Copies of this chain bind each other. A is one copy, B any other.
């Protein structure tokens, strides 16, 4: 390498600065609209979610925080903060981003902060203000609302008015933020709305963040894009504009499939990581890496550990790109040479070096194997099976 470092050193330097937040809802039973396939080991309480997260972090060492979903994890709002703090201490896992819920209440049938009814908008805004307060008390930096609002049929809602209503709500949220807090605005093209979604793409999220204030940034969910859209280019733009707040990581083939990261298109994840690792201001960047997946079939614990390990390996590959050489080849428009330079880092089998790094940091070399050997899944299965299998949620 031009910088005199060995490959192993480059990987170690990159992984030493890499961490990824895991979501509390990644341990609970989820499904598709056609039903859920229940898992006997799924977490059914916030304590079980902390316990599972703690076990993942024990195996990987890179997951010190747990994203919380207020509706499910703090159903009593701020009153639940002390209980969360106790779990933080007990399990050695800190609360991560705070996620409002704007889609589940029957009141949100026609929208939350975009609802034509001002009372519903107030309810939704008020819920987000509660989330800001919860975050303050938990010393959590990021509030991550996903506005699922939209409409299913042309003509049934005023797209224009709803823009204004969002601006009004986000301004109020922003005004309530503490000085170190951030509002991360997520976008998604469709689902659960099928004709228009009020925050459909990064351009809309960016405009809303700008209108809200300087502590509002954009959140990129890798599964929330149109077919063939170039995600790494969006990342490059947000880095250029200093408006990239973080990621929700998952993979997808068709829609928002919420598959494990890198399972469908690993080369794309590598390219996204390359944009980040080649940012000239990388050292001062504060990008939240978060997993947002819904494991319908894979075991919850296995899938989470597998995702973290895959993320590390793809991040390590991206760290091997020879940026100095690449820059020269790009500047000279040496297309084949530049591509080979770039792609050769992807072709490298980094698994041995990542294993070495893990061992050198006192971590299990193979987290998936360590999980299997730990007997953890068998243990929680025994504890939780009865509770999990009693109810079946169906389509009808």
Contact = CB atoms under 8 A, between A and B. Distances in A.
Interface of A: 25, 28-35, 37-38, 69, 71-72, 103-104, 106, 109-110, 116-117, 148, 152-160, 163-164, 189-192, 194-196, 200-204, 206-207, 226-230, 232-234, 236-237, 239-241, 252-255, 257, 259-260, 263-267, 271, 274-275, 278-279, 294, 296-299, 302-303, 306, 313, 321, 326-327, 330-333, 335-336, 338-343, 346-349, 351, 368, 392-396
A362 B226 CA distance: 47
Contact of A230 (B153, B195, B340, B396): B195
A196 B233 contact: yes
Nearest to A155: B342
A340 B306 contact: yes
A103 to B, nearest CB: 5
A368 B321 CA distance: 20
Contacts of A299: 335-336
Given A154-B271, A189-B254, 9 more contacts: A104-B394, A110-B297, A116-B330, A153-B298, A155-B338, A157-B330, A158-B330, A189-B229, A191-B254
A297 B275 CA distance: 23
Contact of A255 (B31, B196, B254, B321): B254
A294 B152 CA distance: 12
A263 B346 CA distance: 12
B110 A333 contact: yes
A103 B152 CA distance: 26
Which 4 pairs show the lowest CB-CB distances between chains A and B? A203-B203, A155-B342, A226-B226, A194-B257
Contacts of A206: 203, 207
25 contacts: A34-B104, A37-B106, A104-B394, A153-B259, A154-B232, A154-B271, A155-B271, A155-B326, A155-B330, A156-B333, A156-B338, A159-B233, A159-B275, A189-B228, A189-B254, A192-B296, A195-B253, A200-B233, A201-B201, A226-B227, A299-B335, A302-B336, A303-B336, A306-B336, A349-B349
A259 B152 contact: yes
Contacts of A302: 336
A276 to B, nearest CB: 11
Contacts of A332: 116
A347 B148 CA distance: 31
Nearest to A111: B333
A298 B334 CA distance: 9
Contacts of A155: 271, 274, 321, 326, 330, 338-339, 341-343
Contacts of A333: 109-110, 116-117, 156-157
B33 A31 contact: yes
A58 to B, nearest CB: 19
Contacts of A69: 396
Contacts of A104: 34-35, 394-395
Given A110-B333, A330-B116, A336-B299, A192 B34 contact: yes
B351 A347 contact: yes
A347 B116 CA distance: 27
Nearest to A202: B203
Contact of A191 (B32, B339, B343, B368): B32
